[in-house]
Each structure stands twice: as C-alpha cells, then as structure tokens.
Amino acid sequence: MVADAQPASVVIVGAGQAGYETAAALRERGYPARITLISAEDALPYERPPLSKAYLKGQEHFSDEQLWLRPASYYTRQSIDLVRGTVREIDPVARTVRLADGSGYDYGHLVLAVGAQPRGLDVPGARLRGVHTLRTARDAAGLRASLATARRAVVVGAGFIGLEFAAAARESGCEVTVVEALDRPLARVVTTPTAEHFTRLHRRAGTELLFGQGVAALHGDDHKGVTAVELADGRMLPADLVLIGIGVVPRTELAAMAGLPVDGGIAVDSRLLTSDPCISAIGDCAAFRHMRFGNRLRLESVQNAVGHARLVAERLTGRSRAYDELPWFWSDQFATTLQIAGLDDGHDSEVVIGDDPDAFSVLLFRGQELRAVESVNRPADHLAARRLLERGVGLSPVEAGAPDFTLKGHLARRREGSGVAVG
C-alpha cells in the first residue's frame, strides 16, 4: 500500500494538542478535503499545562473557556468536523474507523493522536473518593473543587505534575506532603543541582517531601472517602485529598489491535509513519525516531505534540521530511520557571552558570558536546541555549566554565566569528 501525497480525507483520532494542531495546520497549508477530528472528551480541544498550574487556583482566576485552543466557531469556519466519540476499532484494509456508538468513518489518511493516560497506583484503597489523578479538564475541575475544602493533601510522585499540583495546593492553604520512591524529585528528568533547587523551593513553602518512600495502602471508607496514606515503612499520613502523579502510559491499544507495532508507544519512523503508510501516530502516544538521537523516543510536551502535528500536516500536503526539532519543555512551580532545552540522553559532565541559588542554568555535556541546558528563572539562557543547540554551535565544558561566560555572549561571538548576521 502506498500513501497518498494528498489523501482524499484525513481522520484524526484524539483532539488534544496534537490532534487539534494537525487539523489546524492542514487547513493553514491549504488542505482542501474533509478533516474529521474525533474526541473522546466532552470539552472543545483545550490545552493541558494550565490544569496543574493557574487553573487550580480558583474559578475567578481561570474559566474553562480560557483553556480552549479555539472557540467552537473556528471548527465550523475551517470545515473541521469535530466528532464526539471514542474510536474502538481501526480496519486498515478497508481504511475505516469505528466508534463506540457504531458509527464509522472512512479515511484516506489516519492520524493517531490518542495521548496517554495516568498510571494507576496498585495498592488497596486507590479507588476511594478523594483519590485523584490529573490529566483532563474534568480531573482538574474535580481537584479544584476539592482544594476549596481540603486541609491535608498527599501527593504520590515528585514528577512535574505532582510538584506543580503540590505548589498549587500549598498556595491554596493545604498542608502538603509529597511522597517519592526515588531519592530526589524529578529524578528521571533533571540533574541533581536542579532537583535540589526544587526540593528547597517546596520545603521553603512548608511542604514536606519524603524521598525513598513507597505507598503501601490508602485508608478511608465509603462515607468519609480517603483519610490516610500508609507508607511502606508503616507510617500513616492523614489526608483528605490524594493526588497520584506517578507518570502516564501511552495509549497503544487501538494501534496494537490494528496490527501496528508498539515499542514503548505506537512505533513510528522519523516521518512519524507507522508500518502502515496510511497511518501516522503523533504526540504523547508516539515512539518515534528522532534525527538527533539514536533510540526511539517518546516525549510528553506541548512542543513535541505541536512539532509532530505540523510535520504530519506538511507531509500530507506534499512536503515530506524527517523530524529533527530540538526538544524543549517548561514547568512552573510557585514563582519559579524551569525551562529545559535539548534532551539528556546521557551526559558525563555538568557546568552550572549563575551565582544566584534561585536563578541558574545547568549545562549538560557529553564529551566536548553540549547536549541539554536546564534553566531555573533564566529565560534568556533558555533562548540562547535553544539557538546554540539547534544550530550545533560548538561549546566545550572548559569554555562554559570561564568566570565571565554567558550563553548569549557565546552565541553572539560565534555568530560574529562565522559572519552570520545577529538577529
């Protein structure tokens, strides 16, 4: 089977950031035919980052409409058929998808943008009232309502979602304890100096952080809901609200049922095509080949979802290329912003720049090569780091360690040296 350069119709399963962006980018690029965007959620396509940040701080600060990526009129104007429903089955031979209500849609090209779902905590009591996960606007609305009355919150998992929620809960007056199985927060995604900064930040705000701790059970009853978290060492933490933030699992079932390979996500090549040339997979659900990194990657970020969507829209309108965008990411906790440029795919040295313990950047090197930069409250460093990494501008650990070194200055010097106009 050969993929159409410009298929007769495009069906997109999942109307999250990646799905919405695919539809929008197709229309921006002049794609003239039918676009069907199928959403399992009730809400119009919306952005998720505020759900663990500003949205939690109260109705008066953030309405549901402010989450929308576009108002309803946009989809009508752009002739994007927004369909409410859950796709249960793909028939790759007939090129159709079937929804739970029995309806079916033919596709010329199918884009799987089905995202990921929170990993569950497999302990007794995990289904008690007052125990939450945070992925959807509905989850966030439930948490926001609970925060209005909750007094003691326990957060299981010190990843981005857990820490962002912990900050919002603390700011709304809750006593907060974060329980983490590993020895520091954000252990899989940031270096020790950055992790230590976030430990200090949360402790300074009065949050208790417990590392190297597992959860044995959640206690409570049908009447009161959750009342306590029992740790693996037997300690009991009183709680009337528990957030489970132990990561997500990509949604791969539909793809697997259709016979598509799965490899830590729906397996796609560097053009984001599955083994079927008429089916792409993008965003959080896709394990893809990235031109800058060796192994298959699965990334969870807005930038990745948007970048994937645009690439697929380009391919479906006649311009095929391999995905090589530099990954970047951000997280807001209290008044602190962390920004990460690049990806730590194994580093052997670190250089910290900036003397302020609350505003610094960590440069990660493999050998003589800069691989990633974590910036805490240093937005100018982040922008310069992205440019350096995108353009492959050389920088050694020795150069970065010089007393007066700045990323911006280095970028400007290298541009002058290469005769490229600064701008």
Ligand X SMILES: Cc1cc2nc3c(=O)[nH]c(=O)nc-3n(C[C@H](O)[C@H](O)[C@H](O)COP(=O)(O)OP(=O)(O)OC[C@H]3O[C@@H](n4cnc5c(N)ncnc54)[C@H](O)[C@@H]3O)c2cc1C
**Interface stretch with ligand X, choices 202-210, 266-274, 324-332, 373-381 (CB under 6 A):** 324-332
Q: Which stretch binds ligand X (CB under 6 A): 206-214, 221-229, 290-298, 329-337?
A: 329-337
> Which is closer to ligand X, CB of 87 or CB of 246?
87
Among 252, 331, 333, 377, binds ligand X (CB under 6 A): 331
- Site for ligand X contains 87 (CB under 6 A): yes
Contact set for ligand X, span 9-28 (CB under 6 A): 13-19
Strand partners, 267: 287
Long-range contacts (CB closer than 8 Å, 24 or more residues apart) made by 355-362: 357/197, 357/200, 358/197, 358/201, 360/193, 360/197, 361/385, 361/407, 362/190, 362/191, 362/193, 362/194
CA 16, 19, 24, 25 torsion-angle sign: positive
Q: Return the residue of 22, 39, 194, 207 that touches ligand X, per CB under 6 A.
A: 39
**259 vs 401 by CB, closer to ligand X:** 259
- Contact pattern for ligand X over residues 185 through 224, marking x by CB under 6 A: ----------------------------------------
Of residues 101-140, which lie at the interface with ligand X (CB under 6 A)? Answer: 113-116, 134-135
Q: Which is nearer to ligand X, 39 or 280 (CB)?
A: 39
69 by Cβ neighbours in 10 Å (0-12 / 13-18 / 19+) ranks as middle
The runs of H, that is alpha helices, within 205-323 are: 253-257, 302-316
Closer to ligand X by CB, 69 or 359: give it: 69
- Please identify the residue of the shown chain whose CB is closest to the bound ligand X: 16
Q: Are 343 and 329 in contact (CB under 8 A)?
A: no
Residue whose structure tokens are 């440029």 = 341
Phi, psi of 206 (to 5 degrees): 95, 10
Interaction between residue 329 and ligand X (CB under 6 A)? yes
Closest listed residue to residue 15, CA positions, set 131, 123, 165, 137 = 137
Residues that bind ligand X (CB under 6 A): 13-19, 38-41, 48-49, 51-52, 86-87, 113-116, 134-135, 161, 251, 254, 283-284, 300-303, 305, 329-331
